[in-house]
Amino acid sequence: TARAARRELPSHLLAARAAYVLRGNDTGTLVTAAPRLYPHMWSWDAAFISIGLAHLDVGRAVAELDTLLAAQWSGGMLPHIVFTEGGADEYFPGPDRWGTHELSRQAPRGPLTSGICQPPAHAIAVGRLLEIARRGGPVDRATAEDFVRRSWPKLYAWHRWLAEHRDPGGDGLLAVVHGWESGMDNSPRWDSAYAGVRPGADLPPYVRRDLRLVADAGMRPSDAEYDRYLWLVEEMRRVGYDPDRVVATSSFLVGDVFLTAVFALACDVLADLGEEFGEPATQVTALRDWARRGRTAVAATVDPATGLARDRDFRAGAWIGTRTIAGFAPLLCGGLDRAAERTLLSTLDGPDWCGHPGLLTSLVPSTSPADDAFRPRQYWRGPQWPVTGWLFGWAFARRGWAERAERHRAQGLLLCSDGAFAEYYHPLTGEPLGSLDQSWTAAVVLDWLC
Protein backbone atom coordinates (compact mmCIF):
# COMPACT_ATOMS: atom_id res chain seq x y z
CA THR A 1 0.00 0.00 0.00
CA ALA A 2 0.97 3.65 -0.33
CA ARG A 3 1.41 3.81 3.42
CA ALA A 4 3.75 0.83 3.59
CA ALA A 5 6.01 2.42 0.99
CA ARG A 6 6.47 5.54 3.12
CA ARG A 7 9.31 5.95 5.51
CA GLU A 8 8.12 7.01 8.97
CA LEU A 9 10.70 8.69 11.18
CA PRO A 10 10.41 8.34 14.97
CA SER A 11 9.42 11.55 16.78
CA HIS A 12 12.85 12.49 18.08
CA LEU A 13 14.40 12.28 14.60
CA LEU A 14 11.48 14.14 13.09
CA ALA A 15 11.89 16.95 15.63
CA ALA A 16 15.65 17.11 15.09
CA ARG A 17 15.19 17.22 11.36
CA ALA A 18 12.53 19.97 11.64
CA ALA A 19 14.89 22.07 13.73
CA TYR A 20 17.62 21.48 11.17
CA VAL A 21 15.34 22.69 8.35
CA LEU A 22 14.53 25.93 10.20
CA ARG A 23 18.21 26.46 10.99
CA GLY A 24 19.18 25.78 7.38
CA ASN A 25 16.66 28.28 6.01
CA ASP A 26 17.67 30.97 8.51
CA THR A 27 19.50 33.96 7.02
CA GLY A 28 20.03 35.48 10.48
CA THR A 29 17.14 37.94 10.57
CA LEU A 30 14.60 35.86 8.73
CA VAL A 31 13.85 32.28 7.86
CA THR A 32 13.09 32.02 4.15
CA ALA A 33 9.84 30.26 3.30
CA ALA A 34 11.76 27.54 1.46
CA PRO A 35 15.41 27.03 0.50
CA ARG A 36 15.24 27.66 -3.25
CA LEU A 37 11.70 28.20 -4.46
CA TYR A 38 10.91 30.97 -1.94
CA PRO A 39 14.11 32.78 -0.89
CA HIS A 40 12.26 35.59 0.98
CA MET A 41 9.96 36.11 3.97
CA TRP A 42 6.25 35.53 3.38
CA SER A 43 3.89 37.20 5.79
CA TRP A 44 1.74 34.34 7.02
CA ASP A 45 4.64 31.90 6.74
CA ALA A 46 6.53 34.11 9.21
CA ALA A 47 3.66 33.76 11.67
CA PHE A 48 3.75 29.95 11.62
CA ILE A 49 7.55 29.86 11.45
CA SER A 50 7.78 31.92 14.64
CA ILE A 51 5.68 29.29 16.42
CA GLY A 52 8.16 26.60 15.40
CA LEU A 53 11.12 28.79 16.35
CA ALA A 54 9.60 29.44 19.78
CA HIS A 55 10.20 25.79 20.61
CA LEU A 56 13.89 26.20 19.80
CA ASP A 57 14.73 29.76 20.87
CA VAL A 58 12.16 32.33 22.02
CA GLY A 59 14.46 35.25 21.22
CA ARG A 60 14.87 34.02 17.66
CA ALA A 61 11.11 33.57 17.31
CA VAL A 62 10.55 37.16 18.40
CA ALA A 63 13.21 38.38 15.98
CA GLU A 64 11.34 36.71 13.13
CA LEU A 65 8.16 38.67 13.81
CA ASP A 66 10.19 41.83 14.46
CA THR A 67 11.62 41.49 10.95
CA LEU A 68 8.14 41.28 9.50
CA LEU A 69 6.78 44.13 11.61
CA ALA A 70 9.72 46.33 10.58
CA ALA A 71 8.41 46.05 7.02
CA GLN A 72 4.89 47.21 7.95
CA TRP A 73 3.52 49.91 5.67
CA SER A 74 2.79 53.27 7.26
CA GLY A 75 -0.94 52.75 6.77
CA GLY A 76 -0.80 49.49 8.74
CA MET A 77 -0.63 46.81 6.04
CA LEU A 78 1.74 43.90 6.61
CA PRO A 79 3.13 43.09 3.16
CA HIS A 80 2.90 39.57 1.80
CA ILE A 81 6.61 39.39 0.97
CA VAL A 82 9.61 40.98 2.64
CA PHE A 83 12.45 40.63 0.15
CA THR A 84 15.90 39.48 1.18
CA GLU A 85 18.67 41.18 -0.73
CA GLY A 86 20.47 38.04 -1.82
CA GLY A 87 17.36 36.25 -3.05
CA ALA A 88 16.10 39.10 -5.24
CA ASP A 89 17.10 37.53 -8.54
CA GLU A 90 15.90 34.08 -7.67
CA TYR A 91 12.21 34.79 -7.36
CA PHE A 92 9.73 36.42 -9.70
CA PRO A 93 8.03 38.87 -9.26
CA GLY A 94 10.80 40.50 -7.23
CA PRO A 95 11.10 44.02 -5.82
CA ASP A 96 11.67 45.66 -9.23
CA ARG A 97 8.48 44.29 -10.67
CA TRP A 98 6.47 45.36 -7.61
CA GLY A 99 8.21 48.76 -7.44
CA THR A 100 6.40 49.61 -4.20
CA HIS A 101 9.21 51.77 -2.84
CA GLU A 102 9.03 53.97 -5.94
CA LEU A 103 5.27 54.07 -6.37
CA SER A 104 3.83 54.26 -2.85
CA ARG A 105 4.62 56.64 -0.03
CA GLN A 106 3.26 54.10 2.45
CA ALA A 107 5.78 51.43 1.50
CA PRO A 108 9.09 51.15 3.36
CA ARG A 109 12.26 52.14 1.49
CA GLY A 110 14.00 49.22 3.15
CA PRO A 111 13.46 46.36 3.42
CA LEU A 112 11.68 46.19 0.06
CA THR A 113 8.29 44.54 -0.01
CA SER A 114 5.48 43.41 -2.28
CA GLY A 115 2.33 45.54 -2.41
CA ILE A 116 -0.38 43.16 -1.20
CA CYS A 117 -1.09 41.27 2.03
CA GLN A 118 -1.82 37.74 3.27
CA PRO A 119 -4.12 36.20 5.91
CA PRO A 120 -3.65 37.83 9.34
CA ALA A 121 -2.44 34.81 11.30
CA HIS A 122 0.10 36.90 13.23
CA ALA A 123 -1.79 37.56 16.45
CA ILE A 124 -2.50 33.84 16.65
CA ALA A 125 1.25 33.25 16.41
CA VAL A 126 2.00 35.82 19.09
CA GLY A 127 -0.52 34.19 21.42
CA ARG A 128 0.96 30.76 20.83
CA LEU A 129 4.51 32.05 21.18
CA LEU A 130 3.65 33.54 24.57
CA GLU A 131 2.12 30.26 25.69
CA ILE A 132 5.25 28.34 24.67
CA ALA A 133 7.59 30.89 26.28
CA ARG A 134 5.68 30.72 29.55
CA ARG A 135 6.46 27.02 29.76
CA GLY A 136 10.16 27.97 29.74
CA GLY A 137 12.28 29.95 32.22
CA PRO A 138 11.95 33.57 33.36
CA VAL A 139 14.11 34.91 30.52
CA ASP A 140 11.91 33.33 27.84
CA ARG A 141 8.86 34.59 29.63
CA ALA A 142 10.16 38.16 29.89
CA THR A 143 11.30 38.13 26.26
CA ALA A 144 7.86 37.08 25.07
CA GLU A 145 5.94 39.45 27.35
CA ASP A 146 8.10 42.36 26.32
CA PHE A 147 7.44 41.43 22.70
CA VAL A 148 3.68 41.34 23.23
CA ARG A 149 3.81 44.91 24.61
CA ARG A 150 6.00 46.06 21.73
CA SER A 151 4.07 44.38 18.93
CA TRP A 152 0.50 44.90 20.13
CA PRO A 153 0.04 48.44 18.72
CA LYS A 154 1.47 47.33 15.37
CA LEU A 155 -0.79 44.32 15.18
CA TYR A 156 -3.72 46.50 16.14
CA ALA A 157 -2.84 48.90 13.29
CA TRP A 158 -2.67 45.92 10.90
CA HIS A 159 -6.12 44.71 11.94
CA ARG A 160 -7.54 48.22 11.71
CA TRP A 161 -6.15 48.53 8.19
CA LEU A 162 -7.97 45.38 7.13
CA ALA A 163 -11.22 46.48 8.77
CA GLU A 164 -11.05 49.96 7.25
CA HIS A 165 -9.77 49.25 3.76
CA ARG A 166 -10.89 45.73 2.94
CA ASP A 167 -14.56 45.63 3.80
CA PRO A 168 -16.09 46.88 0.53
CA GLY A 169 -19.54 45.44 1.32
CA GLY A 170 -19.54 47.07 4.76
CA ASP A 171 -20.72 43.83 6.39
CA GLY A 172 -17.44 42.43 7.70
CA LEU A 173 -16.57 40.07 4.83
CA LEU A 174 -13.00 41.07 4.01
CA ALA A 175 -11.94 41.21 0.37
CA VAL A 176 -8.76 40.24 -1.43
CA VAL A 177 -7.57 42.03 -4.56
CA HIS A 178 -5.36 39.17 -5.69
CA GLY A 179 -5.52 35.40 -5.24
CA TRP A 180 -2.04 35.62 -3.72
CA GLU A 181 -3.52 37.56 -0.80
CA SER A 182 -5.61 34.54 0.15
CA GLY A 183 -2.45 32.45 0.58
CA MET A 184 -4.17 29.84 -1.63
CA ASP A 185 -2.77 31.11 -4.88
CA ASN A 186 -4.34 28.93 -7.56
CA SER A 187 -7.23 27.45 -5.61
CA PRO A 188 -10.23 26.70 -7.84
CA ARG A 189 -12.01 29.17 -5.52
CA TRP A 190 -10.52 31.89 -7.71
CA ASP A 191 -11.04 30.41 -11.19
CA SER A 192 -14.25 32.24 -12.02
CA ALA A 193 -12.98 35.56 -10.66
CA TYR A 194 -9.73 35.19 -12.60
CA ALA A 195 -11.71 34.42 -15.74
CA GLY A 196 -12.92 38.02 -15.49
CA VAL A 197 -9.36 39.36 -15.39
CA ARG A 198 -8.27 40.30 -18.93
CA PRO A 199 -4.53 40.95 -19.12
CA GLY A 200 -3.93 44.10 -21.19
CA ALA A 201 -1.81 44.02 -24.34
CA ASP A 202 0.57 46.32 -22.47
CA LEU A 203 1.39 43.77 -19.77
CA PRO A 204 5.17 44.13 -19.54
CA PRO A 205 6.97 40.89 -20.48
CA TYR A 206 8.36 38.65 -17.76
CA VAL A 207 10.14 35.35 -17.16
CA ARG A 208 8.92 32.91 -14.52
CA ARG A 209 11.51 31.37 -12.25
CA ASP A 210 9.43 28.93 -10.25
CA LEU A 211 9.25 26.32 -13.01
CA ARG A 212 12.97 25.59 -12.87
CA LEU A 213 12.68 24.68 -9.21
CA VAL A 214 9.96 22.05 -9.02
CA ALA A 215 10.27 18.58 -10.51
CA ASP A 216 7.02 18.80 -12.41
CA ALA A 217 5.54 22.01 -13.85
CA GLY A 218 2.10 20.43 -13.42
CA MET A 219 2.38 21.04 -9.65
CA ARG A 220 2.55 24.82 -10.24
CA PRO A 221 0.10 27.36 -11.65
CA SER A 222 -0.12 27.60 -15.47
CA ASP A 223 1.26 30.42 -17.67
CA ALA A 224 -2.24 31.73 -18.34
CA GLU A 225 -2.74 31.95 -14.58
CA TYR A 226 0.55 33.82 -14.20
CA ASP A 227 -0.43 36.40 -16.85
CA ARG A 228 -3.47 37.25 -14.79
CA TYR A 229 -1.47 37.37 -11.56
CA LEU A 230 0.92 39.85 -13.16
CA TRP A 231 -1.83 41.91 -14.72
CA LEU A 232 -3.34 42.53 -11.30
CA VAL A 233 0.04 43.73 -10.06
CA GLU A 234 0.17 46.05 -13.06
CA GLU A 235 -3.24 47.50 -12.15
CA MET A 236 -2.05 48.18 -8.61
CA ARG A 237 1.12 49.83 -9.81
CA ARG A 238 -1.00 52.20 -11.90
CA VAL A 239 -2.81 53.51 -8.81
CA GLY A 240 0.37 53.67 -6.73
CA TYR A 241 -0.83 50.96 -4.34
CA ASP A 242 -3.26 53.40 -2.72
CA PRO A 243 -5.43 50.96 -0.73
CA ASP A 244 -8.80 52.45 -1.57
CA ARG A 245 -7.97 53.04 -5.22
CA VAL A 246 -6.77 49.47 -5.48
CA VAL A 247 -10.12 48.22 -4.15
CA ALA A 248 -11.95 50.59 -6.50
CA THR A 249 -10.03 49.62 -9.65
CA SER A 250 -8.77 46.04 -9.32
CA SER A 251 -10.42 43.68 -11.79
CA PHE A 252 -10.28 41.06 -9.02
CA LEU A 253 -12.21 41.77 -5.83
CA VAL A 254 -13.43 38.80 -3.85
CA GLY A 255 -14.78 38.53 -0.33
CA ASP A 256 -12.50 35.83 1.12
CA VAL A 257 -14.34 33.75 3.69
CA PHE A 258 -11.23 31.94 4.91
CA LEU A 259 -9.19 35.11 5.42
CA THR A 260 -12.17 36.66 7.20
CA ALA A 261 -12.38 33.68 9.56
CA VAL A 262 -8.66 33.93 10.34
CA PHE A 263 -9.17 37.65 10.95
CA ALA A 264 -12.07 37.07 13.33
CA LEU A 265 -10.06 34.51 15.29
CA ALA A 266 -6.96 36.71 15.35
CA CYS A 267 -9.00 39.72 16.52
CA ASP A 268 -10.20 37.73 19.51
CA VAL A 269 -6.69 36.54 20.34
CA LEU A 270 -5.36 40.08 20.06
CA ALA A 271 -8.21 41.38 22.21
CA ASP A 272 -7.44 38.73 24.87
CA LEU A 273 -3.79 39.81 24.87
CA GLY A 274 -4.86 43.46 24.97
CA GLU A 275 -6.97 42.85 28.06
CA GLU A 276 -4.22 40.98 29.82
CA PHE A 277 -1.56 43.57 29.02
CA GLY A 278 -3.68 46.63 29.74
CA GLU A 279 -3.95 48.00 26.21
CA PRO A 280 -6.47 50.81 25.54
CA ALA A 281 -10.03 49.63 26.22
CA THR A 282 -11.39 51.36 23.11
CA GLN A 283 -9.00 49.36 20.94
CA VAL A 284 -9.84 46.10 22.66
CA THR A 285 -13.52 46.86 22.11
CA ALA A 286 -12.88 47.60 18.44
CA LEU A 287 -11.17 44.21 18.05
CA ARG A 288 -14.09 42.40 19.67
CA ASP A 289 -16.41 44.24 17.35
CA TRP A 290 -14.40 43.27 14.24
CA ALA A 291 -14.31 39.67 15.47
CA ARG A 292 -18.09 39.62 15.86
CA ARG A 293 -18.67 41.24 12.47
CA GLY A 294 -16.25 38.78 10.87
CA ARG A 295 -17.96 35.76 12.40
CA THR A 296 -21.39 37.02 11.39
CA ALA A 297 -20.20 37.70 7.85
CA VAL A 298 -18.62 34.24 7.57
CA ALA A 299 -21.82 32.57 8.78
CA ALA A 300 -23.88 34.61 6.30
CA THR A 301 -21.97 33.15 3.35
CA VAL A 302 -23.15 29.60 4.04
CA ASP A 303 -24.80 27.92 1.07
CA PRO A 304 -28.13 26.56 2.29
CA ALA A 305 -27.87 23.70 -0.20
CA THR A 306 -24.43 22.39 0.85
CA GLY A 307 -23.85 23.94 4.27
CA LEU A 308 -20.41 25.14 3.11
CA ALA A 309 -19.23 28.74 3.43
CA ARG A 310 -18.64 30.62 0.18
CA ASP A 311 -16.50 33.42 -1.15
CA ARG A 312 -18.21 36.40 -2.74
CA ASP A 313 -17.13 37.73 -6.13
CA PHE A 314 -17.81 41.44 -5.67
CA ARG A 315 -17.07 42.28 -9.32
CA ALA A 316 -19.46 39.68 -10.73
CA GLY A 317 -21.93 40.05 -7.86
CA ALA A 318 -21.96 36.26 -7.42
CA TRP A 319 -21.28 33.59 -4.81
CA ILE A 320 -18.43 31.16 -5.42
CA GLY A 321 -19.57 27.67 -4.51
CA THR A 322 -16.46 25.63 -5.35
CA ARG A 323 -15.91 22.91 -2.77
CA THR A 324 -12.61 23.89 -1.20
CA ILE A 325 -11.15 23.94 2.28
CA ALA A 326 -12.47 27.50 2.64
CA GLY A 327 -15.96 26.04 2.92
CA PHE A 328 -15.08 25.06 6.50
CA ALA A 329 -14.13 28.60 7.53
CA PRO A 330 -16.99 28.81 10.07
CA LEU A 331 -15.40 25.96 12.02
CA LEU A 332 -12.35 28.16 12.55
CA CYS A 333 -14.09 31.20 13.93
CA GLY A 334 -17.53 29.99 15.01
CA GLY A 335 -20.70 31.94 14.36
CA LEU A 336 -23.02 29.20 13.08
CA ASP A 337 -26.03 28.02 15.05
CA ARG A 338 -25.69 24.54 16.54
CA ALA A 339 -27.58 22.69 13.81
CA ALA A 340 -25.62 24.31 10.99
CA GLU A 341 -22.37 23.65 12.77
CA ARG A 342 -23.24 20.01 13.30
CA THR A 343 -24.07 19.67 9.60
CA LEU A 344 -20.78 21.25 8.61
CA LEU A 345 -18.83 18.94 10.94
CA SER A 346 -20.48 15.88 9.46
CA THR A 347 -19.69 17.15 5.97
CA LEU A 348 -16.08 17.53 7.08
CA ASP A 349 -15.99 13.97 8.38
CA GLY A 350 -17.96 12.59 5.43
CA PRO A 351 -16.89 10.77 2.25
CA ASP A 352 -16.48 13.91 0.11
CA TRP A 353 -13.87 15.27 2.52
CA CYS A 354 -11.81 13.86 5.37
CA GLY A 355 -13.70 10.57 5.35
CA HIS A 356 -12.97 9.96 1.66
CA PRO A 357 -11.96 6.29 1.45
CA GLY A 358 -8.89 6.99 -0.72
CA LEU A 359 -7.18 9.44 1.64
CA LEU A 360 -3.98 8.39 3.39
CA THR A 361 -4.60 10.77 6.32
CA SER A 362 -7.67 12.75 7.30
CA LEU A 363 -6.28 16.29 7.14
CA VAL A 364 -8.60 18.60 5.19
CA PRO A 365 -7.58 18.49 1.50
CA SER A 366 -7.35 21.89 -0.23
CA THR A 367 -10.13 20.83 -2.63
CA SER A 368 -12.75 18.11 -2.17
CA PRO A 369 -11.56 14.78 -3.64
CA ALA A 370 -15.13 14.35 -4.85
CA ASP A 371 -15.12 17.58 -6.87
CA ASP A 372 -14.43 17.87 -10.62
CA ALA A 373 -11.83 20.53 -9.85
CA PHE A 374 -9.80 18.08 -7.71
CA ARG A 375 -6.17 17.68 -8.87
CA PRO A 376 -4.29 15.66 -6.26
CA ARG A 377 -0.81 16.88 -7.25
CA GLN A 378 -1.52 20.48 -8.08
CA TYR A 379 -0.81 23.02 -5.36
CA TRP A 380 -4.08 24.36 -3.91
CA ARG A 381 -6.25 22.22 -6.21
CA GLY A 382 -6.26 19.07 -4.10
CA PRO A 383 -3.13 18.39 -2.02
CA GLN A 384 -3.14 18.48 1.77
CA TRP A 385 -1.15 21.33 3.31
CA PRO A 386 0.28 20.65 6.78
CA VAL A 387 0.02 24.34 7.61
CA THR A 388 -3.74 24.55 7.08
CA GLY A 389 -3.97 21.30 9.02
CA TRP A 390 -2.24 23.01 11.95
CA LEU A 391 -4.59 25.98 11.76
CA PHE A 392 -7.71 23.84 11.88
CA GLY A 393 -6.27 21.73 14.70
CA TRP A 394 -5.38 24.82 16.73
CA ALA A 395 -8.82 26.32 16.15
CA PHE A 396 -10.53 23.05 17.14
CA ALA A 397 -8.59 23.05 20.42
CA ARG A 398 -9.51 26.68 21.05
CA ARG A 399 -13.14 25.91 20.40
CA GLY A 400 -12.99 23.18 23.04
CA TRP A 401 -13.03 20.20 20.69
CA ALA A 402 -10.07 18.49 22.32
CA GLU A 403 -10.57 15.06 20.85
CA ARG A 404 -10.95 16.39 17.32
CA ALA A 405 -7.87 18.56 17.76
CA GLU A 406 -5.85 15.62 19.00
CA ARG A 407 -6.95 13.42 16.10
CA HIS A 408 -5.94 16.19 13.74
CA ARG A 409 -2.51 16.49 15.31
CA ALA A 410 -1.91 12.75 15.05
CA GLN A 411 -2.97 12.71 11.40
CA GLY A 412 -0.78 15.72 10.60
CA LEU A 413 2.20 14.02 12.18
CA LEU A 414 1.50 10.86 10.25
CA LEU A 415 1.41 12.79 6.98
CA CYS A 416 4.68 14.55 7.80
CA SER A 417 6.46 11.57 9.31
CA ASP A 418 8.43 11.04 6.10
CA GLY A 419 10.63 13.95 7.24
CA ALA A 420 10.53 15.66 3.83
CA PHE A 421 8.69 18.73 5.23
CA ALA A 422 7.01 19.17 1.88
CA GLU A 423 5.06 22.28 1.03
CA TYR A 424 2.06 20.04 0.30
CA TYR A 425 1.27 16.32 0.03
CA HIS A 426 -0.61 14.08 -2.36
CA PRO A 427 -3.72 13.31 -0.31
CA LEU A 428 -4.17 9.80 -1.67
CA THR A 429 -0.58 8.55 -1.52
CA GLY A 430 1.23 10.91 0.86
CA GLU A 431 3.81 11.73 -1.80
CA PRO A 432 5.69 14.91 -0.83
CA LEU A 433 5.05 17.67 -3.41
CA GLY A 434 6.15 21.23 -4.24
CA SER A 435 9.12 22.48 -2.31
CA LEU A 436 10.84 20.22 0.23
CA ASP A 437 12.28 21.54 3.51
CA GLN A 438 9.50 24.12 3.54
CA SER A 439 9.90 26.19 6.72
CA TRP A 440 6.29 26.44 7.83
CA THR A 441 5.86 22.68 7.47
CA ALA A 442 8.86 22.13 9.74
CA ALA A 443 7.47 24.72 12.16
CA VAL A 444 4.03 23.18 12.52
CA VAL A 445 5.53 19.72 12.92
CA LEU A 446 7.65 21.03 15.81
CA ASP A 447 4.58 22.50 17.42
CA TRP A 448 2.67 19.24 16.95
CA LEU A 449 5.53 17.34 18.55
CA CYS A 450 6.18 19.59 21.55
Q: Phi-psi region for residue 183, left (φ > 0), alpha (ψ -120 to 50) or beta?
A: left
Of 185, 191, 303, 371, which one is the catalytic site residue?
185
Least distance from C-beta 265 to ligand 9YW, angstroms?
Answer: 17
Listing DSSP states for 323-385 in one string gives -BGGGGHHHHH--S-HHHHHHHHHHHHSTTTTT-TT-SS-SPBSB-TTSTT--TTSGGGS-B-
Angle at which helices 386-398 and 439-449 cross, to 10°: 40
Residue of 120, 125, 121 lying closest to 51 (CA atoms): 125
Give the contacts of 342 (CB within 8 A, at least 6 positions apart).
Answer: none
Active-site residue flag, 185:
yes
Least distance from C-beta 183 to ligand 9YW, angstroms?
Answer: 4
Q: 61 or 284, CB closer to ligand 9YW?
A: 61
Q: 347 or 439, CB closer to ligand 9YW?
A: 439
Half-sphere exposure (Cβ direction) of 81: Cα atoms closer than 13 Å: 25
Phi, psi of 415 (to 5 degrees): -60, -40
Least distance from C-beta 40 to ligand 9YW, angstroms?
Answer: 9
Residue of 43, 305, 300 lying closest to 176 (CA atoms): 43
Least distance from C-beta 298 to ligand 9YW, angstroms?
Answer: 20
Return residues touching ligand 9YW (CB under 6 A).
Answer: 33, 38, 42, 44-45, 183, 185
Least distance from C-beta 435 to ligand 9YW, angstroms?
Answer: 8
Q: 152 or 392, CB closer to ligand 9YW?
A: 392
CB-count exposure of residue 100 (10 Å: 0-12, 13-18, 19+) = buried
Q: 183 or 243, CB closer to ligand 9YW?
A: 183
Q: 33 or 254, CB closer to ligand 9YW?
A: 33
What residue type is 371 in one-letter code? D
Determine which helix (DSSP H) or strand (DSSP E) holds 164, and give its type and residue range.
helix 138-165
CA distances (Å), origin 385, targets 83, 331, 422: 24, 17, 9
CA distances (Å), origin 311, targets 92, 245, 261, 322, 431: 28, 22, 11, 9, 30
CA distances (Å), origin 256, targets 45, 246, 365: 18, 16, 18
Write b or e for each residue in 396-410: b if 16 or more Cβ atoms lie within 10 A of its Cβ, otherwise e. Answer: bebbebeebbeebbe
Q: 185 or 303, CB closer to ligand 9YW?
A: 185
Q: 38 or 152, CB closer to ligand 9YW?
A: 38
Of 90, 140, 235, 423, which one is the catalytic site residue?
423
Angle at which helices 402-416 and 11-24 cross, to 10°: 70
Least distance from C-beta 190 to ligand 9YW, angstroms?
Answer: 11
Give the integer Cα–Cα distance in Å for 19 and 13. Answer: 10
Least distance from C-beta 105 to ligand 9YW, angstroms?
Answer: 26
How far the first Cα of the chain sits from its last, in Å, is: 30
Least distance from C-beta 12 to ligand 9YW, angstroms?
Answer: 27
Catalytic residue set: 185, 423
